[in-house]
Amino acid sequence: MKKFLLIALVGLMAVTFAFAGGDAEQADDGVFKMAAIFQTSIEEPWDGAIHVAALKIAEEMGLTYEFAENVKAADFSKVVREYSERGFDFIIGDAFLAGEEPSRAVAKDYPDIAYAFGSEFDIQAPNYSVFDNWIHEPAYLSGVIAGMMTESNVLGVVAAIPIPEVNRLVGAFKAGALSVNSNVTVKVAMIGSWFDPPKAKEAAVSMIEAGADFLFAERFGVFEAAKEAGVYAFGNMSDQNALAPDVVISSCVWDMYPVLKNSIDAIQNGTWKAQNLKDWSMMAAGGSSLAPYHGLESKIPADVKAKVADLQKQIMAGTFVVPVIETPTVSD
Amino acid sequence: MMSEIFSVAFITGIIAATLRMSTPIILATLGEIITERSGVLNLGIEGTMLFGAAIGFLTTLSTGSLWLGVLAAALAGIALSLIMAILSVYLGLSQHVSGLGITIFASGLAMFIYRLVVGSPTVPPIIDPFSPIAIPLLSRIPILGGSFFTQYSLTYITWLLIPAVSIFLFKTRAGLRVRTIGQNPFAADTVGVNVNLTRTLCLAAGGAFFGVAGAFLTLAHQNMFLIDVIGGRGWIAIAMTIFGNWNPVMGAVGGLIFGFLDALQLRLQTLGVDLPFHIFLMIPYLITIFALISVSRKASVPAGLLKPYRREDKGG
C-alpha cells in the first residue's frame, strides 16, 4: 500500500514537472508579452482594475497577456521569476505588502525586463517602476455629494486596512463632505482584511444604526447593508452600480489604462526607465473618474450635480488640488 | 458615548448582529461536535465551508433557487467529508494532516469551479439572497422583536438544530453509539457497532453542517461568492468545540459570545475611540483564547479522538 502510494506520488510529481514549463518552449515570435501577478483573486477591486485595463490594452494593441491570481507570499517571487525567465517584456502586479520585496528582488536579476508594481515606496533603478491608484479626487467629489445630500449629517466609511493608499480615500471623502457641510460627522471602521464581506457588512450595519445615510464602501459587503436599510453608498475602484442599482449612487473609478499605455509605448520606444507612474492615475490623465449616476441621476438635486461638475472641471484644469491626506482618519 | 451605547437602537442592533454573525460559527461548531464525538477531528472544516459557500452560490446562481443552493452546499460538504473519511477512517492516516489537506484542496477546488462557471468577471455575479423573516407578533416586541425575531431562516434553523443535536447525542441510542466509539471504539466494536461506518456517517453529517454554514455567508449574509469569504470562521468553530467541552449547547454559547464580541468591536470602532483599530479587531480572538485556556483545563476530550480504529490493535 505504502509503496503504491509512493510510486503514485512520484509519478504525479513527474507529470507536474513535465507540464510546469507551460509555453516556455515556444519560440519568441516577436509579439510583445505582458504578465500580471495578483495576490488575491481578480474580483478584488484593486486587482480587477489592473486586470481590466490589461485585457483592454492587450486586445487593442494585439499583445500577449497572461495573469496569475491568488499568488500567496511564499510563491510570489517564484511566479515573477517564472514570467521573467519566459521572456516577458513587461511584468506588472498588485504587489504592496507581501509582494513588495520579492518582486524587487527578482527585478534586480533581469535588468532588461520592465517591471511595474503597486507600491507606496520608491522606484528601483533601472527597471522597477511603481504605481498606485490615485482616486482621492473622485473620493473628494463623493464626499461633496454625500455632504450636500445627507439628511442625518452622519456619513460612514468602511475600509480595509489604514495604509496610505486607503487613508487618502477616507481623508479625501471626509474633506469633500466638510467642504460643503460643516455639521457632518464621519464614522470610520476598518475590517482588517482585503476580503471579509461579512465583516464589512456588519460594520456598515453598525454605522446605519448610528444614523449614517451615506456610506463609502472601500470594500465589498457594504452594499448589502445599504440595500436592506435603504441608504446610499459609493463604490470604490470600479463602477459598481450593477451590484446594487438602487443603492450605488456613484463610484470612484480607477482606470489603469493610461499607466499601461504610456508604459508599453515607452518600452517599445526604448525610453523606459524606472519611474513613479502616479500621474497617469490622476483624473487629469484619465486615470481616475467619478462613475456615472446611472439610475439614481434623478435623485440627485441639480445644485449638487452642478457643484460636482464645476469641481471636476477645476481638478482637470489643475486650478483646484484635492488634499492628499495619508494619515489614518479617526471616527468622529 | 454612554448614551449611544444604551440606546434602544444600539442594543437591538448589537443583539441582531450577534445572532447573524454567530450563525455560521454555531452551525459549523455543531457539525464539528458530532464529528469529534465519534473520534475524528475534521480540520477540513474551513475548506469545506468555503466549498459549500461556492457550490451553494453557484447552484443558486444557475437555478435561481436559494433552497436548492442550501441543499447543494450540504451535499458538497458531505462529498468532501467522505474523502476525509477515506483518508482518516479507512486508511487511518493522521487526522491533522488529512484535515488540513482537505482544507487546502477544497479552497483551490472552490475557486477553480467558480472560475470554470463564471469566468473572470471584474464585478462578481450576484444572486437575490435570503431576506430576514420577521416572525408575526413576536417581531413587534421592543428590542427582542427587532433582534431575535427578525432573522434569516437559516438562523432560525440553526437555533432548532442546537437542541436537536443535543438530544441526538445524549438521549438517543444512535447518539450513545457515537459517543461510545469516540470514547472506546473497541468496546463499541465488541457489542456490534460498526465503528468505521459510524465515523463515516458522523463525518458526513458534520460535512453537511459545514457546507450549509458556508452557504449562509454567500446566500443570506451576502449575495456573492468571494475567495476568503469564510475568513477563519471554521477555525473559530474548532475553538468553540473545545470551549463548549464537546457539548452542543455550550458550543453554541461560545459561538454567541464570539459573535457578540465581533459585533461590539465594530461598533466601538465607529464611536471614535482613538485606539489602533487592531486592538478592536483582536478583542474577540483574545477573549476566545483566554476562555479556551480557562475552560480547556477541565475539558473532557473524547478518549478515542485522533486515533484511527484498527480491530487488530489491542483495545484500551
Residue B265 touches partner A, C-beta closer than 8 Å: no
Which residue from B122, B221, B231 is facing A201, i.e. has the nearest CB? B221
Tell me which DSSP letter residue A99 carries: G
Which residue from B129, B227, B277 is facing A192, i.e. has the nearest CB? B277
Rg over alpha carbons for chain B, rounded to the nearest Å, is 20
Identify the closest residue of chain B to A223 by CA–CA distance. Answer: B222
- Asked whether the beta carbons of residue A224 and residue B229 sit closer than 8 angstroms, the reply is no
Beta carbons within 8 Å of B17's beta carbon, 6+ residues apart:
A202, A205, A206, B259, B263, B266
pLDDT in tens, B165-219: 999 999 999 999 999 999 999 999 999 999 999 999 999 999 999 999 999 999 9
Return the pLDDT at A236: 94
Return the pLDDT at A24: 45
Which residue from B226, B269, B274 is facing A220, i.e. has the nearest CB? B226
pLDDT in tens, B231-269: 899 999 999 999 899 999 999 999 999 999 989 888 888
Residue B21 touches partner A, C-beta closer than 8 Å: yes
CB pairs < 8 Å spanning A and B? 117
pTM over cut 0.80: yes
Residue-range domain boundaries for chain A? 32-131, 136-255+285-317
Task: State the smallest CA–CA distance between residue A198 and chain B in angstroms.
Answer: 7
Q: Are strands A90-93 and A33-37 parallel, antiparallel or unpaired?
A: parallel
Return the pLDDT at A2: 60
Q: What percent of chain B has pLDDT over 90?
A: 68
Return the pLDDT at A9: 65
What fold is seen in the domain A32-131? Rossmann fold (3.40.50)
Residue B62 touches partner A, C-beta closer than 8 Å: no
Above 90 in pLDDT, residue B129?
yes
pLDDT in tens, A229-242: 999 999 999 999 99
Which residue from B231, B272, B273 is facing A196, i.e. has the nearest CB? B231
Rg over alpha carbons for chain A, rounded to the nearest Å, is 22
Confidence of residue B276 (pLDDT cuts 50, 70, 90): confident
Return the pLDDT at B33: 97
Classify domain A136-255+285-317 by CATH number. 3.40.50.2300
Return the pLDDT at A11: 64
Phi, psi for B8 (deg, rounded to 5):
-60, -40
Confidence of residue B270 (pLDDT cuts 50, 70, 90): confident
Query: Which parts of chain B are beta strand (E)?
Result: 133-134, 150-151
Residue B231 touches partner A, C-beta closer than 8 Å: yes
Tell me which DSSP letter residue B276 carries: -
Q: Are strands A232-237 and A214-217 parallel, antiparallel or unpaired?
A: parallel
Return the pLDDT at A137: 96
Return the pLDDT at B19: 95
Residues in chain A within 8 Å Cβ distance of B123: 43, 48, 238, 240, 242-243
* CB < 8 Å from B in window 154-193 of A: 156, 162, 187-193
A78 vs A37: CA distance, rounded Å: 11
* CB < 8 Å from B in window 190-209 of A: 190-199, 201-203, 205-207, 209
Question: B287: closest CA among B240, B241, B245, B251?
Answer: B240
ipTM of this complex prediction, to 2 decimal places: 0.86
Which of B91, B120, B122 to mutate: most A Cβ within 10 Å? Answer: B122
Terminal Cα distance for chain B, rounded = 59
Left, alpha or beta for B129 (phi > 0: left; psi -120 to 50: alpha)?
beta
| Mean pLDDT across chain B | 91
User: Residue B271, SS3?
Assistant: coil
Residues in chain B within 8 Å Cβ distance of A187: 270, 272
User: Residue A234, SS3?
Assistant: strand
Identify the closest residue of chain B to A191 by CA–CA distance. Answer: B281
Residue B119 touches partner A, C-beta closer than 8 Å: no
Q: Say if A32-131 and A136-255+285-317 have the same CATH topology.
A: yes
Classify domain B22-125+146-296 by CATH number. 1.10.3470
Mean pLDDT value across residues B69-92 = 97
Return the pLDDT at B1: 53
Point out the residues of chain A with pLDDT beneath 50: 21-27
Answer for the pair B305, B182: CB distance below 8 angstroms, yes or no.
Answer: yes
B150 vs B39: CA distance, rounded Å: 37
Question: A159: closest CA among A300, A46, A48, A71?
Answer: A46
